[in-house]
Amino acid sequence: MNAAKKKNDDVRTIQVKALARVEGEGALNLTMRGGKVENVEFKIYEPPRFYEAFLRGRGYEEVPDITARICGICPVAYQMSSCHALEKAMGVFEQVDPAIRSLRNLLYCGEWIESHVLHMFMLHLPDFLGYESAISMAQDHGAIVKRSLRIKKSGNDLVELLGGRAVHPVGVCVGGFYRAPRPSEAAALLPEIQSCRDDLCDLMLELAGIVQFPKLERDYEFVALCPDDEYPMNLGRIKSNKGLNVAQEEFGTVTQEQQVEHSTALHAVLKARGAYAVGPLARLNLNAEKLHPRSAEVLQAVAKAIKQPLPWRNSYLAFLARGIESVHALALAADLLGNYTPPVRSRIPITPRSGIGGHGTEAPRGICWHEYRTETDGTIASARIMAPTSQNQKTIEEDLCQLAEQVAALSDEETAMRCEHLIRNYDPCISCSTHFLKLTRTNV
């Protein structure tokens, strides 16, 4: 769509005016000269909504409900990051009960399942199988689409169990939950979660057999939360495969939201290191040994089927990483539901105070890091939010430069489709990216 061809010597410009099948609004401009990439512009024209600005002056208890509205696809990630950061600001972070932490993981399982499965099957798989949308894909692969919709729904069911609705759930508060589920509600959900877990295990093996993954290997710096004893969701130091190892609070000081000259982009880089990648591939490469046993089995089988052991340095394989993480989330959710007893209290008491707290959690697309400063009555004095897509944006651009050279011989339409496919490897949630409008980078 929108592929326009302008002949001017041997310069050709490929434009994708509106990226389809991404959450939000983006566009891509690619200028090539004689098979060499001259310019790549991955533009984000999502209007600014100024969340950090209007959070100032609001009450701390309101924050999880407000930041949820940054993104309708991953509201739980915003709620979780806000809660942890504010619990640090209020000095109660260490007091949160393990039972509350388990419920937070259960909620996050729901969001990972619904977000990952939505992206994999509704937005990304059509690229691999050669369809313009899941609607067209359903005509030939109806069974796969139906199975995936059912699995996605099981993720929504988990979020609804803890928050009433899948988009902007209402159950979360700073300090825990307004209400814990009844044992009967948890038990009622268990059989469906188990069944979806088993079905997704099968589906992943089928997919590994039929999907071909384009080759595009790069030496990424993968950054993810790395807790000692579990696959990352809510807690853990922030580490990379190239030696980064910082406490949660320090992440804001080792990253920099850069503005490139002649562009309105703000994108995060590691100071003195450059671009980095967050998300399912980063988490999997850094934490594979902590996967749930059911998911570890699937990883082993899938890696064998595609003949590629970890680490995976090909962003197309993020498709499989999402599936493996979804199996993990379903298996973990089944365990948590199976062992569920209501917590003694669903939330811890909080006395407002002035303080500062920074914390990131693993949104489906990668680290979502928040920092808040509060006044003595709990009013927000300052807010900083780093969304996953703003952290991945520079990496996406660098990928595009490499891909464009590979596809130089193809038609403009085909090149545009290949570039779109690559962008979708990152599941870019552009609504989340409160911090950039347009990205322009000239490759000399």
> Is 252 an interacting residue with respect to another protein (CB under 8 A)?
no
β-bridge mates for residue 369, sequence order? 360, 386
Of 26 and 232, which has the nearer Cβ to another protein? 26
To another protein, the closest distance from the beta carbon of 145 in angstroms equals 8
> Is 322 an interacting residue with respect to another protein (CB under 8 A)?
no
Among 149, 211, 306, 408, binds another protein (CB under 8 A): 149
Choose one: 168-176, 225-233, 308-316, 391-399; the region binding another protein (CB under 8 A): 168-176
> Is 86 an interacting residue with respect to another protein (CB under 8 A)?
no
Among 20, 190, 254, 310, binds another protein (CB under 8 A): 20
To another protein, the closest distance from the beta carbon of 18 in angstroms equals 6
> Is 22 an interacting residue with respect to another protein (CB under 8 A)?
yes
| x-or-dash string of contact with another protein, 262-291, rule CB under 8 A | -xx-x-------------------------
> Is 87 an interacting residue with respect to another protein (CB under 8 A)?
no
Q: How many CB atoms lie within 10 A of CB 78?
A: 28
> Is 138 an interacting residue with respect to another protein (CB under 8 A)?
yes
Instruction: Give the 3-state DSSP-derived string for 145-213, with helices as H, strands as E and coil as C.
Output: HHHHHHHHHHHHHHHHHHHCCCCCCCCEECCEECCCCCHHHHHHHHHHHHHHHHHHHHHHHHHHHHCCC
To another protein, the closest distance from the beta carbon of 231 in angstroms equals 25
Token pair in block for residue 146: 């139906």
Give dist(CA 64, CA 83) in Å, integer: 7
Of 295 and 434, which has the nearer Cβ to another protein? 434
Torsions phi, psi of 345, nearest 5? -135, 145
The CA distances from residue 161 to 62, 201, 211, 342, in Å, are 21, 24, 34, 13
Query: How many residues touch another protein (CB under 8 A)?
Result: 69
To another protein, the closest distance from the beta carbon of 393 in angstroms equals 15
Burial (CB count within 10 angstroms: exposed 0-12, middle 13-18, buried 19+), residue 76? buried
Contact 105, 201 (CB under 8 A): no
Q: How many CB atoms lie within 10 A of CB 209?
A: 10
Among 95, 136, 376, 406, binds another protein (CB under 8 A): 136
Contact 418, 407 (CB under 8 A): yes
Give dist(CA 412, CA 134) in Å, integer: 23
Of 73 and 235, which has the nearer Cβ to another protein? 73
Choose one: 90-98, 128-136, 220-228, 304-312; the region binding another protein (CB under 8 A): 128-136
To another protein, the closest distance from the beta carbon of 222 in angstroms equals 27
Token pair in block for residue 299: 């990883």
> Is 183 an interacting residue with respect to another protein (CB under 8 A)?
no
Choose one: 95-103, 169-177, 275-283, 401-409; the region binding another protein (CB under 8 A): 169-177
Q: Which residues fall within 8 angstroms of residue 401, CB to CB, at 6 or more apart?
A: 37, 40, 443
To another protein, the closest distance from the beta carbon of 318 in angstroms equals 19
Sign, CA torsion 430/434/440/444: negative
Between residue 41 and residue 80, which ones bind another protein under the rule CB under 8 A? 45, 47-54, 56, 58-59, 62, 65-66, 69-73, 75
Of 54 and 414, which has the nearer Cβ to another protein? 54
Helices (H), 12-74: 51-55, 63-68
Q: How many CB atoms lie within 10 A of CB 56?
A: 14
Torsions phi, psi of 176, nearest 5? 150, -125
> Is 30 an interacting residue with respect to another protein (CB under 8 A)?
no
Of the candidates 410, 408, 403, 397, the residue with the CA atom closest to the CA atom of residue 441: 397
Choose one: 98-106, 120-128, 182-190, 356-364; the region binding another protein (CB under 8 A): 120-128
Contact residues: another protein, CB under 8 A: 1, 18-25, 45, 47-54, 56, 58-59, 62, 65-66, 69-73, 75, 118, 122-123, 126, 132-136, 138, 145-146, 149-150, 152-153, 156, 163-168, 170-171, 173, 178-179, 257, 259, 263-264, 266, 420, 431, 434-435, 437-438
